Amino acid sequence: MSKPIKTFDLLIFRRLSITYVVLMVALIIFFIVLHYVEYVDDFIDRGATMSEVFSIYYPNYVPEIVRLMSPLALFLSTLFLTGRMAQKLELAALQTSGVSLYRILVPFAVVGVLVTGTMFWFNGWVVPESNRVRIRFEKQYTKAQSSVDEYNNIHRQNSPGSVITVNFYDRATQTAHTVTMQRFGEGRRLEERVDARSMQWIEERQTWLMRSPIVRTFHPDGSESLQSLAEMDTTLALLPRDMARTDGDVESMTITEARDYISVLERSGAGNLGLPRVTYYVKYAYPFANLILVLLAVPLAAPRRRKGQALVMGGGLFVAFVYLALMKFLEPFGYEGTLSPQAAAWIPHAAFFVAGILVIWRARK
- Residue 269: its pLDDT value, please? 67
CA distance 293 to 360: 12
Of 323, 325, 330, nearest to 349 by C-alpha is 323
Mind giving me the DSSP string for 264-287?
Answer: HHHHHT----HHHHHHHHHHHHTT
Average pLDDT over residues 296-304: 89
Question: Coil, strand, or helix at residue 99?
Answer: coil
Residue 261 near residue 253 (C-beta atoms within 8 A): yes
In a 10 Å sphere around its CB, with 0-12 CB exposed, 13-18 middle and 19+ buried, how is residue 4 labelled?
Answer: exposed
Residue-level pLDDT at 245: 74
CB 101 within 8 A of CB 363: yes
What distance in Å separates the CA atoms of residue 91 and residue 302, rounded to the nearest whole number?
7
The pLDDT value recorded for residue 307 is 66
Kindly report, residue by residue over 246-276, the tens digit of the pLDDT.
Answer: 777 889 889 998 888 888 777 666 677 899 9
* Mean pLDDT, rounded, for 188-200: 92
Residue type present at position 287: P
Tens of pLDDT, residues 317-332: 899 999 999 999 999 9
Task: Place 15 in a pLDDT band, splitting at 50, 70 and 90.
Answer: very high
Cα(246)–Cα(144) distance, integer angstroms: 13
Which residues contact residue 253 at a Cβ distance below 8 angstroms, ignoring those fewer than 6 apart? 128, 261
- Candidates 258, 226, 231; CA nearest to 345 is 258
Which pLDDT does position 157 carry in this prediction? 77
Contact criterion met (CB below 8 Å) for 228 and 108: no
Q: Which helix (H) or strand (E) holds 148?
A: strand 148-150
pLDDT tens, residue by residue, 120-175: 999 999 999 999 999 889 988 987 655 555 677 787 878 777 888 899 999 889 99
